[in-house]
A and B are shown apart, each in its own frame.
Chain A
Amino acid sequence: MSKSERPSQLFRNLNAKVASIPMILTAMVVFVGGTAWTVLYSFTNSKLLPRLNFVGLDQYYRLWATPRWLISIENLLIYGVISLVFSLVIGFLLAALLDQKIRFEDTFRTIFLYPFALSFIVTGLVWQWLLNPDFGVQGVVRSLGWTSFDFNPLYNSSIVIYGISIAALWQGTGLIMCLMLAGLRGIDEDIWKAARVDGIPMWKTYLFIIIPMMRPVFITTLVIIASGIVKVYDLVVAQTSGGPGIASEVPAKYVYDYMFFAQNLGQGFAASTMMLLSVMIVIVPWAYLEFGGRKRV
């Protein structure tokens, strides 16, 4: 930025730099160091305790031949697409509706955001009861007289992941709505006036003017949603603990189960390395476009 001050660059803001040393150390040792350690040990046959006995890619071959891992990946993809699309769409729609200068906006905002105050464990338990065939939605509708009503996602292998997605959307959409609302409020009133003068219908204004202007907000939102998708674990544990059978397993749970229940650290490390790799595949190109591009402009 300022070429004239280059000689003293290292000592500029010395206090700030000294103060950030603990965080830098934490990041380097705990995050980067821990990651490197995990990747290294994923090439060993460590069982209950870590041991440096290299077996090459054996853990990875076994991982990709395990039906439970493949089901976990498939579930993560379905869950990911659903929560990405629906939380963005529903979140934006709710925000746009709240932005119409309606009465009791604060009340509505609180109601929509409220589920976010609950942890995934509580959310999971609440929805486990709501979706329980005997006590929940199905039971209530049947007791009203519609006896053939069937809504039993948590005990049906083929749709259980959708039952989990419902709970996740209920919990997370409120936050997305708030982020979107903040973005909408950041749009200059004059843009709306100009659009109105030009006679552009409201939906077109949103779609072609407002949304492109909200790009930074969307990117923040995307990162928040995506990180939530990859690490989903507690919701599944609370709602179904992977069942029925292994139909609602997710990668994070595979990692935990194999590291601690099966006492096979090597296998768990291999699985967590694959999770890291999948995150990198998404993050690296995006980060390159987002941050690498700016220098050229």
Chain B
Amino acid sequence: MRYKFLTSAFAATVALNVAGPAAATDLEVTHWWTSGGEAAAVAELAKAFDATGNHWVDGAIAGSGGTARPIMISRITGGDPMGATQFNHGRQAEELVQAGLMRDLTDVATKGKWTEVVRPKSLLDSCTIDGKIYCVPVNIHSWQWLWLSNAAFEKAGVPVPKNWNEYVAAAPALEKAGIVPLAVGGQAWQASGAFDVLLAAVGGTDTFLKVYKDKDAKFAAGPEVAKVFKAADDARKMAKNTNVQDWNQATNMVITGKAGGQIMGDWAQGEFQVAGKTAGKDYTCLPGLGLNEVIATGGDAFYFPLLKDADKAKAQEVLAETLLDPKTQVAFNLKKGSLPVRGDVDLNAANDCMKKGLAILAKGAVIPWTDQLLSQDSQKQKEDLFSEFFAKPDMSLEDAQKRFADIIASAD
């Protein structure tokens, strides 16, 4: 009797053990979404994936993309790939794909009719190499935003500016009130990104494309771009007392009214939301710095390394489908403050700023972003230049522009 009981108990555990992995496959997903708003958004993705009966193993890597990407790449090239990983779509994972380390998703894409639902089309183009699709875009991230603290401008006694020029003019009043006019954190990509935004806003779309797409070094050394450097010089003077490192610390200065504003991508919006601020009342957003209302179609995408385990490969397909699911898209992007990659989803819950972004997107005023146009090598050189430029008040504009033109000349 006792013997029988034991065997049946043993059989039960064995059955459970077998049943476990078959029903739920663990898939490790690495990403660098660690700030408050980002973590809330990624939890939505995990929830949606877990609902399919699989299990999302969160592999968050703190310290923004610059820190996370080397770790992800060395895991993939080192033969210990994760189930799926975030990259900014474009050229960051180009060589991994060319080396055959990433999974071709064309089948899943044809089944889900991605070419029809994903909008704008350039997003999927960035995922396509030699006619095959290698990544799932999950959101559109545009850098072109100026976030302004209404409270800070009230304290300084000036109206909230409507564009970059008014903002520059209001800077002395802000300084007088003990407010840092512009918050730019110490991480190198922030300075470099702010310049790119100025290039598209002050210089205009054509200027931006001529420099980064055509890589016209002569033009980059010319008077059109010199105007942009003049604006960058204003930004440098306005930002000189920031003294913080991370982008969300800089955003926090705007949220608390210690800084007048920040040039930062739409991911900053998640921080305002977590802090319980309302767009239009507590803060103001100006897409394209109020000068040139365009949106860059950079963003985040998930790439799937080639795995040997068949169960996990199956789970990868499920995850790819889940990520583009309309419901997931809405839940994720509302928390993240970014725009969905599908045109056919309902975004009534979107706030003012997101609606502005959606309207621009609907008009088709989109430009490709530097992640799509430049190699990581050129990006890094640009970061080195602009982090030096922003930290060194005595670096002359001519000097900086000459070095910028040199980078463009050798860019690939």
Contact = CB atoms under 8 A, between A and B. Distances in A.
Contacts of A49: 77, 95, 99
A133 B96 contact: no
Contacts of B162: none
A7 interface: no
A67 B379 contact: no
Contact of B377 (A134, A157, A247, A267): A267
B388 A262 contact: no
B391 A247 contact: yes
Contacts of B410: 62
Nearest to B380: A262
A63 B136 CA distance: 37
B391 A262 contact: no
Interface in A144-194: 155, 157
A242 B70 CA distance: 18
B375 A263 contact: yes
B387 interface: yes
Nearest to A258: B380
Nearest to A46: B95
Interface residues of B, number: 31
A157 B73 contact: no
B391 A243 contact: yes
Interface residues of A, number: 26
B381 interface: yes
Interface string A223-246: 000000000000000000111111
Contact of B95 (A48, A245, A246, A247): A48
B336 interface: no
A47 B95 CA distance: 8
A245 B389 contact: yes
A245 B70 contact: no
B73 A48 contact: yes
B391 A244 contact: yes
Contacts of B377: 47, 258, 262-264, 267
Contacts of A245: 387-392
Interface in A49-78: 49, 62, 66-68
A47 B375 CA distance: 10
A213 B77 CA distance: 53
Interface string B74-111: 10010000000000000010111001000000000000
A66 to B, nearest CB: 8
B70 A261 contact: yes
A49 B94 CA distance: 11
A263 B384 contact: no
Interface in A246-293: 246-247, 257-258, 260-264, 267
A192 to B, nearest CB: 54
A139 to B, nearest CB: 12
A43 B245 CA distance: 36
B59 to A, nearest CB: 18
A68 B95 CA distance: 26
Contact of B245 (A241, A258, A261): A241
Contacts of B73: 48, 260, 263
B74 A68 contact: no
A261 B380 contact: yes
A49 B392 CA distance: 34
Contacts of B245: 241, 243
Contact of B70 (A241, A243, A260): A260
Interface string B238-267: 000001010000000000000000000000
Contacts of B380: 257-258, 261-262, 264
Interface string B47-71: 0000000000000000000100110
Given A133-B243, A155-B243, 4 more contacts: A48-B77, A48-B96, A247-B388, A264-B376
**Which 9 residue pairs spanning A and B have beta carbons closest together?**
A245-B391, A260-B70, A262-B380, A244-B391, A48-B95, A245-B388, A263-B376, A264-B377, A262-B377
13 contacts: A48-B376, A67-B388, A134-B243, A157-B392, A244-B186, A244-B392, A245-B387, A245-B388, A246-B391, A261-B66, A261-B70, A262-B381, A263-B376
Interface of B: 66, 69-70, 73-74, 77, 92, 94-96, 99, 186-188, 243, 245, 375-377, 379-381, 384, 387-392, 403, 410
